[in-house]
Amino acid sequence: MSSINYIGEVLRTRLSHYCEEVLYGSRPDIHVLRPEVFIYFDKHVRNSDAHNCFFEFAAPSWIKLIEARRFYDAQKLWEELLTLTRQWESQRRSPVHKGTPFYFWAVTSILTDDLDKGFLLMHQALVEDQRTSGEKNPPTPAHSFVCLDAQNQRQFFKDYVDEAARFLADLMAKYREKNGMSLCFDDFVARFLQNTDLEEIRFYFVYVLCRTKRFFDTIVPSLTENIIGSLMETGIIFDLCLTVENTIKIKNNIKYSRRLTFIKHLGFLATQSKLSLSENELGEINSEFNNDFENALNSLLTGQILPSLNRRLNPIEEDLVISYGFRNLGAHSLESYNIIFENFEEIIERVINSLFFTIEKVY
């Protein structure tokens, strides 16, 4: 049903006037809308279609603000409409479906390069969609965003999702070529990004992936040739390692698995995927990382035989070991190394390869 059939003449007139004032650059008082907004929500209790229509009525004005790059006013529009809505919810003790304003506010924040706030708002939109629909994977724009579902054509921010999905697909293509694997993007989406058993892990991975992409897109490599640059990059790598560790942990579903360390989970993965990598070897490699992290990492990146081993690791074993080394470094140390900013992109690829391999072999 269209908004014109839900929104009465008085509210439509006042809401139009409010939006026009915002567009003209004035600061109208949102509370002049309060009486009509309260009447509207009183009339449409728990009617999510009507709730959507209310917020969608302001969307054309928001788009004009975005096109004019008036991002502050664009965010303020949704913030103030949500303020009124929450006041009604608090007084009536009844929920209003707020997926639409949170989604558009999230888009605005991301357009201003505030990725953290954008993801918080986008996930709040998803919470609204899940509550209203009763589904963990509702077919909404917010869900498509947080799961990189580029197939959904009905999402305002599809260009951003497309770019992030292409970034991930390009990494996956390198993984297949380097390791002779067969994992395709659709399989990864089905097994991982749409897997409700991996709720926190999949959502966090997409967030870290987008942070990584933004880092590649906006930070000139020469700016990272310093202590803080190395530490920032180590933080991103560590977050990716956490997704690898926890993704394996879910499948290593044995008693007390929460108490097991990464070395045990890697041992499980190696056994399940028929790799030669053993826990004893991982222990020896860990000692090499502890003694000289930079030299051990350089040996792995260049395909050299580590002194503690009597064999050459295959490429995917190297990737898993690199993830293991950074997992321990990030958890226990605050140290910078030149080799990190010199090889950041390759290290990212190696760690994400570990996630791809996990999904391909045990999911």
Q: Are residues 324 and 289 in the same domain?
A: yes
Residue type present at position 301: L
* Final residue before a domain boundary, out of 146, 175, 196: 146
Q: Are residues 336 and 253 in the same domain?
A: yes
CB 212, CB 348: distance < 8 Å: yes
Tell me, yes or no, whether 159 lies in a domain.
no
Tell me, yes or no, whether 154 lies in a domain.
no
In sequence order, which residues have a C-beta less than 8 Å from that of residue 62 and are 6 or more positions away? 74, 77, 78, 104, 108
What does the pLDDT read at residue 274? 95
Q: Are residues 112 and 184 in the same domain?
A: no
Q: Are residues 49 and 133 in the same domain?
A: yes
Query: 1-51, pLDDT tens digit by residue?
Result: 444 578 889 999 999 999 999 999 988 999 999 999 999 999 999 999 999
Question: In the chain, what's the furthest Cα-to-Cα distance?
Answer: 81
What does the pLDDT read at residue 143? 96
Calculate mean pLDDT across residues 92-113.
97
Q: Are residues 138 and 275 in the same domain?
A: no
What does the pLDDT read at residue 3? 46
Residue whose token pair is 């609204």: 128
Q: Are residues 99 and 243 in the same domain?
A: no
DSSP annotation string for 44-73: TTT-HHHHHHHHHTTHHHHHHHHHTT-HHH
Name the band, by pLDDT with cuts 50, 70 and 90, for residue 275. very high
Distance (Å) of CA 53 to CA 5, 23, 103: 9, 20, 14
Query: 336-348, pLDDT tens digit by residue?
Result: 899 999 999 999 9
In sequence order, which residues have a C-beta less than 8 Å from that of residue 81 and are 6 or more positions away? 30, 55, 58, 101
Whole-model pTM: value is 0.92
Tell me, yes or no, whether 151 lies in a domain.
no
Retrieve residue 180's tokens: 């002779």
DSSP annotation string for 162-230: HHHHHHHHHHHHHHHHHHT----HHHHIIIIIT-GGGHHHHHHHHHHHHHHHHHHHHS-GGGGSSHHHH
Query: 158-189, pLDDT tens digit by residue?
Result: 999 999 999 999 999 999 999 999 999 999 99
% residues pLDDT > 90 (the chain): 87
Q: Are residues 300 and 186 in the same domain?
A: yes
Half-sphere CA count of 52, side-chain side, radius 13 A = 13
What is the extent of the structural domain holding 348? 164-362
Mean pLDDT of all residues in the chain?
93
Q: Which of 253-257, 291-295, 328-332 has the lowest mean pLDDT?
A: 253-257
Q: Find how far residue 212's CA is from the centre of its chain.
A: 10
Q: Are residues 137 and 168 in the same domain?
A: no
Query: 128-162, pLDDT tens digit by residue?
Result: 999 999 999 999 999 999 999 998 888 999 999 99
* Final residue before a domain boundary, out of 146, 174, 192: 146
In sequence order, which residues have a C-beta less than 8 Å from that of residue 356 and are 6 or more positions away? 171, 172, 175, 181, 183, 188
